[in-house]
Amino acid sequence: MHDEIAMQIGSQRRPGTTTFESVDPYTGEGWARVPEATKADVDDAVAAARAALSGEWGSMPGRERGALLRRLGELIAEEADELAIAETRDNGKLLREMGGQVRGLPAWYDYYAGLADKIDGRVVDTGRSDYFGYVARGPVGVVAAVLPWNSPLLLLTFKLAPALAAGCTVVAKPSEHAPVSILRLAELFERAGFPPGVFNTVSGKSREVGEWLVSHEGVDRVTFTGSEATGVAVARAAAGHFAPVTLELGGKSANIVFADADLDAAANGLIAGIFAAAGQTCIAGSRALVHADVYDEVVRRVADRAARIVMGDPKEAATEMGPICFPGQLDKIRRFVDEAKATGADIVAGGGDRGMGGLFFEPTIVANIANDDPICQDEIFGPVLSVLKFADEAEAVRIANSSRYGLAAGLWTKDIQRAFRMSKALNVGTVWVNAYRTLNWTMPFGGVKASGYGRENGTEGLHEFLQDKAVWIELTGATRDPFVLG
């Protein structure tokens, strides 16, 4: 029995003329029929978003937008269990993690609801007595949001909550591997009282759906989370109609352990950084940099815990790691590990599936490698930890920054001065000190280098969806020389 899912386009629920199957990674069975959008569906979704922008939504005061955002958050809380199950059945991640993420979403909507009526400009001293000048801020317009499969609703909320607070309208394209929760979320907008067209969805297994959306001339801004290669394609497509882009891409983040660290906490942080979510997260701490004095002890502790990680049904409370999302991703993980073994790397832990078959890949630790090896330079997006040894701060910084990515880093030390020095030296968007894999609505999130550009969350995330307008008002009524700038 398949759940039947529809797209939200304006006031219409569209089931699509054709559909594709969403497959549960744990059972291997299809569980939902999802619409395949056509070019006409994409055109209609953008048109609906444009109509809402020039209609009731566009003229709505910030305070009223904020009230709708809060109501949406309340409805998400009411439907959290069902939405979380949809995510687990789509991507195979733990229900306890997906449940925690979904139940946390109302805080994002509440935070941005509080900012919706605080969007103001400024009066500018023009340096002239005959002109009054001010800067007004307003919504950038219609936003295309293209989403990944690993945390669909959380990563959508990073974009959707600030975009709505700013007064924008949104067309979202979920991943073909995990579309259901986002399509279900769209059903809550009418119940919350939003005008039609404020939030629209288009789904599809074909890459063309996303290409139609990001290249659409009716889209004013694109925001994307996903792979480096797709991010480049998205930026190029958006540039064709001069739409600015926010890109949150991949990472190869270093989790750095100094000799003075609390080794229990550090080992736990390394486990959390790479084996939570089966490593299927952009912020995965996939490179462990460990000081030579404690290297053997830290690797032993992490390997021991990795061997005891409970793999199984992601819906069961005792499970600590579920399956990989889809076969192509599993093949990629296996290929990286096999290639590392073939070139002399040591597999300290894992490397197989513990006889479970299906889409399972056990927590894996790889040692006796160099930082310029592919397993240390390329994003794997799976439960594979590369461990490297360093001698001092300078070497740790050099290794950590020797990556084309720059999303995040972890730092484990009791030396507060070192924490400040290292945080400054690491060329990344987020540094966690004696912690790893912590995010919320108040702190900006994003990367540098091949990890992308732009920021999500915090007031910085709101600014991505606003644009400034300079206004000059002549005060005297006098005329001037039309051929002189001034």
> Are the C-beta atoms of 360 and 382 separated by less than 8 Å?
no
- pLDDT in the model for residue 279: 98
Q: For residue 486, what pLDDT is reported?
A: 82
Go through the chain and tell me how many residues it has.
486
Q: What's phi and psi for 433, nearest 5 deg? A: -110, 120
Residue among 65, 70, 75 nearest 109 (CA)? 70
User: Helix or strand or coil: residue 56?
Assistant: coil
Handedness of CA 172, 30, 91, 384 (dihedral sign): negative
Q: How far is CA 254 from CA 182, 261, 430, 449, in A?
A: 31, 16, 11, 15
Residues 147-197: tens digit of each pLDDT: 999 999 999 999 999 999 999 999 999 999 999 999 999 999 999 999 999
DSSP 389-417: EESSHHHHHHHHH-SSEESEEEEE-S-HH
Instruction: Indicate if 395 belongs to the active site.
Output: no
What's the fold here for domain 3-249+451-470?
A: Aldehyde Dehydrogenase; Chain A, domain 1 (3.40.605)
Beta strand residue intervals within 29-153, DSSP E: 30-36, 122-124, 131-139, 142-146
Q: pLDDT per residue over 311-340, tens digit each? A: 999 999 999 999 999 999 999 999 999 999
The residue-averaged pLDDT of 92-119 equals 98
In angstroms, the Cα distances linking 363 to 339, 352, 360 are: 17, 8, 10
- Per-chain mean pLDDT for the chain: 97
As given in the structure block, the two tokens for residue 21 are 């199957």
Nearest CA among 56, 249, 218 for reference residue 144? 218
**Element spanning 76, H or E:** helix 62-78
325 is a catalytic site residue: no
pLDDT 10s digits, 251-271 = 999 999 999 999 999 999 999
Is CATH 3.40.50.2020 the right assignment for the domain spanning 254-433? no
**How far is the C-alpha of 375 from the C-alpha of 252, rounded, in Å?**
10
* Average pLDDT for 125-131: 96
In the chain, domain spans: 3-249+451-470, 254-433
Residue 389, Cβ density class (10 Å: 0-12 exposed, 13-18 middle, ≥19 buried): middle
In whole angstroms, what is the distance from residue 255 CA to residue 39 CA? 44
Q: How confident is the model at residue 1 (pLDDT cuts 50, 70, 90)?
A: low
Q: Which of 79, 248, 362, 464 is catalytic?
A: 248
Q: How far apart are CA 431 and CA 473, in angstroms?
A: 45
What SS3 state is found at 95?
helix
Output the pTM of the full model. Answer: 0.97
Instruction: Specify the residue for token string 């594979």.
Output: 384
Reply yes or no on whether the pLDDT at 237 is more than 70.
yes
Contact 186, 179 (CB under 8 A): no
Residues contacting 284, CB < 8 A, separation 6+? 251, 253, 273, 274, 277, 381
254-433 matches 3-249+451-470 in CATH topology? no
Other Cβ atoms less than 10 A from the Cβ of 321: the count is: 24
Alpha-carbon span 393 to 426, nearest angstrom: 11
Per-residue pLDDT tens digits for 31-81:
999 999 999 999 999 999 999 999 999 999 999 999 999 999 999 999 999
| Cβ 151 vs Cβ 439: under 8 Å | no
Active site residue: 36, 79, 97, 282, which one?
Answer: 282
What is residue 282's three-state secondary structure? coil
Give the per-residue pLDDT at 2. Answer: 73
With cut-offs at 50, 70 and 90, classify the pLDDT of residue 280. Answer: very high
Q: What is the DSSP string of 311-372?
A: BS-TTSTT-SB---SSHHHHHHHHHHHHHHHHTT-EEEE--S-TT--TT----EEEES--TT
Which residues, in sequence order, are CB contacts of 1 under 8 Å at separation 6+? Answer: none
Contacts of 477 (CB under 8 A, 6+ apart): none
Of 61, 439, 366, 407, nearest to 254 by C-alpha is 407
CA–CA distance from 308 to each of 267, 281, 320, 363, 388 (Å)? 14, 21, 10, 9, 22
